[in-house]
Chains A and B, each alone.
Chain A
Amino acid sequence: MEMFGDPAIWLPWTFAALMGLSILIYVILDGFDLGVGLLMPLADDLEKDRLVASIGPFWDANETWLVLAIGLLLVAFPPAHGIILTSLYLPVFIMLVGLILRGVSFEFRAKAPLSQKPRWNAAFFAGSLMASMSQGFMLGMYVMGLTWTVSHVAFALLTAVFLTVGYSFIGAAWLIAKTDGALQMHAVRWAKGGIWGLILGIGAISLATPFVSPRIFDKWFSLPEFLYLSPMPILSGALVVYLWWQINQLAKVQDRMTWGPFVAAMALFALAFAGMAYSFYPYVVPEQITIYEAAAAPESLFIILLGTLFVLPAILGYTVLSYYIFRGKATELRYD
């Protein structure tokens, strides 16, 4: 424990990094499958089946990253876990109801009598919408320091809409890669319709964050930090331009560079997330509790870390295996 210096310093840092990584992976992975759920009402009946088929083998594992992220918050920063979740009591409830509806509709829509299928499709969409909106809302509230004032709630409602549209964008980007033919063209159109949510969402949070706290403002807008950090917004801008160009390109030439939009969207999510992480470090509850104050006992963290070092590579390995097995265009989902 002592070999990297004071364990009360490096262990919380490591766990904050692990938690951040889990949240980022969750937002990208469940982001695309929630996004696909959001696109359901735009698809016709046959397309709906293919939409679900494109995420069927993955959604459960994708959602497990949320459990890991909240689990790491719970185990590594217990007091922060309590404060964050009690202040977000209602949005958490809405998210959970959404995730419940979404998760079970996957199964029910395929197994219940055909006449009930539209109902479960609707529940699937509603669940995806509730989960996306509440996550965006919680993101906004977190940025605003978890205090419930009218302006903060208004801002959070705005980020709720942006994140939801952003998810629908990354969902459409996923579909561009995983489908072909007419559905792929639809996905290109949906991506065009959703890209503004991504841009406005990242823009709103990037603009709002520095003005919430002078500490964060100084972290970004003092020299020389400003210069070191300038590649981030520049790279983000370049990615947006590429996305725009690639999607228009896809509308003309089908099925070429189909992974481009999804990969670029992942990079954009990652950049935005890195920016937020930079802003809020070292706080886990914004401007209230740092990761060092909230950390659990080093002995307990060390036990978890030991396991993590063995297990995380295995998890990543078999996740890659699963995406490899189900590579290529999504076909009908069958048990046999």
Chain B
Amino acid sequence: MDTLLLSRIQFGANISFHILFPTITIALGWVLLFFKLRFNATGESKWMDAYMFWVKIFALSFAMGVVSGITMSFQFGTNWPGFMETVGNVAGPLLAYEVMTAFFLEAVFLGIMLFGASRVKPWVHTMATFLVAFGTTMSTFWIIVLNSWMHTPQGYELRDGIVFATNWWEIVFNPSMPYRFVHMMLASGLTVAFLIAGISALRLLWGDRAESVKSTLRFGIIAAAALIPLQILAGDFHGLNTLEHQPAKVAAMEANWETGPNVPLVLFALPDEDARENRFEIAVPNGASLILTHKADGVVPGLNDFVAEDGTALHPRVAPVFFSFRVMVGTGLAMLALSWAGLYFLRRYGAGDMPALPLYAFTAMSFSGWIATLAGWYTTEIGRQPWLVQGVLSTKDAVSDVPAGMVLGTLIGYLVIYAALIIAYIAVITYLARKASRGEPLSTRTYPRGGEAEVAVLHPGE
């Protein structure tokens, strides 16, 4: 294997590992704020118990996200020097704004959020929780802006092969940014909803009957059921946007070789790039035309439109895009089915007496958000190939000239560490759930609520 492919695998491995944890912390930050506010409003200790349990998982996920994120900021330089040399004038400010507006905010207030509850006033602690959640969302925003610009660049001009920014408004609000941002935020929400539902279900299965567990199971199921239709809708809009700006990616997602009307929806196939056709195809007639153009005879672009005269493909490799797209959609549909079934069980039995079957199903789907998120990112990122920045910079022009053996060495090193850490991460979450299920107290303190002292004065009789 050459340096290019190894560097791509290495960056892919790094960014795949990294995104797992922001996907959790982005939404979990807001969920923690919700738990905290519920506690402030009701004074019910179950909300603080829920907060105390999930804040540990938040802290762990956050640390994993920070360290793997640092890795990536260095890999731009060690493996992809051409990226910053060519588009640094656009990517630089966006990354700088992420570090300045998001990283420091989250990092500093995380300390206060985690360890400061006994040192600051309750409202300061709530505020710190808000600022951490806000920081993770800002971070998402800037990264999505940059990533979307790499898919749908505008607001720039080329001088001697170097990109210069001409209109920052156009750069930030590039055509795919709103779709990608909403899609990612919802993905994070779903990942966390299923994680919370899954771990709560596991604790119920272990015989934990704490009020906080019933509440978090209810919360997880309702959040999942509410978010998944929105996500399917957002995904559809995002797909239409991709069709407009990156037709080759959509052609690969659908494994459609010839441009034309009445294109079927391929449910399963083995795309064969040498023969340029699908093997073992199972398809729904007119399906792709209906989904992508909302008309049965709508024209869908085909891969054969994206081939140079000398025969080199100008579209991404078909199979990875095709399959990862199907994994994402399949996981999404499973999420839809389970969360709505969960709603039914919730109404019928309540969270505390839910039968074992749905509890097992939710436990099994605890990390389903990870699968869908990764599959979705593979679809869009591999789908952009052979470009690093669509139409501006090809991936092979950005790679460093570090020897392949060296990249292979570091790649193996990273993979070993990442595998070990994922195992440790899931094991520790399970261990924390087990420990909490045994009824070990999450805290020995009683928490003051904002404004509690005043309330006591107003209602002295109670």
Contact = CB atoms under 8 A, between A and B. Distances in A.
B74 A108 contact: no
Contacts of A336: 52, 117-118, 442-445, 447
A214 B96 CA distance: 36
A269 to B, nearest CB: 21
Given A64-B103, A322-B108, A97 B417 contact: yes
Given A60-B66, A315-B100, A335-B115, A82 B93 contact: no
Interface stretch (A43-51, A72-80, A282-290): A72-80
B73 interface: yes
A67 B115 contact: no
A322 B81 contact: no
A299 B66 contact: no
B109 interface: yes
B59 interface: yes
Given A96-B74, A97-B413, A326-B119, A318 B60 contact: no
B73 A74 contact: yes
Contacts, number: 219
Interface string A287-302: 0000000001101100
Interface in A37-82: 56-58, 60-61, 63-64, 66-68, 70-76, 78-79, 81-82
B285 interface: no
Interface stretch (A84-92, A192-200, A244-252): A84-92
A296 B92 contact: yes
Given A103-B67, A111-B428, A307-B101, A335 B77 contact: no
Given A78-B84, A335-B117, A68 B100 contact: yes
Given A304-B93, A307-B97, A326-B119, A67 B78 contact: no
Which of B73, B85, B120 has its CB near the most chain A CB atoms (within 10 A)?
Answer: B73
Interface in B28-86: 52, 55-56, 59-60, 62-64, 66-71, 73-74, 76-78, 81-82, 84-85
B411 to A, nearest CB: 10
Contact of A75 (B92, B111, B431): B92
B421 interface: yes
Contact of A107 (B63, B68, B71, B164): B63
B320 interface: no
Chain A binding surface SS class? helix
B261 interface: no
A117 B99 CA distance: 32
Q: Give the size range of A's interface with the partner.
A: 35 or more
Interface string A302-336: 01100110011001001101100110000001111
Contact of B104 (A58, A61, A84): A61
B114 A335 contact: yes
B432 interface: yes
A93 interface: yes
B77 A82 contact: yes
A190 interface: no
Interface stretch (B179-187, B243-251, B398-406): B398-406
Contacts of A303: 93, 165, 168
Which of B95, B103, B400 has its CB near the most chain A CB atoms (within 10 A)?
Answer: B103
Interface of A: 56-58, 60-61, 63-64, 66-68, 70-76, 78-79, 81-86, 88-90, 92-93, 96-97, 99-104, 106-108, 111-113, 296-297, 299-300, 303-304, 307-308, 311-312, 315, 318-319, 321-322, 325-326, 333-336
Interface of B: 52, 55-56, 59-60, 62-64, 66-71, 73-74, 76-78, 81-82, 84-85, 88-93, 95-97, 99-101, 103-105, 107-112, 114-120, 164-165, 168, 400-402, 406, 410, 413-414, 417, 421, 424, 427-428, 431-432, 442-445, 447
28 contacts: A60-B66, A64-B103, A67-B73, A74-B73, A74-B84, A74-B92, A79-B81, A81-B81, A85-B74, A89-B402, A90-B406, A93-B413, A97-B414, A100-B71, A103-B66, A106-B63, A111-B56, A111-B431, A112-B428, A296-B88, A300-B89, A304-B93, A304-B97, A308-B96, A315-B100, A326-B116, A326-B119, A335-B56
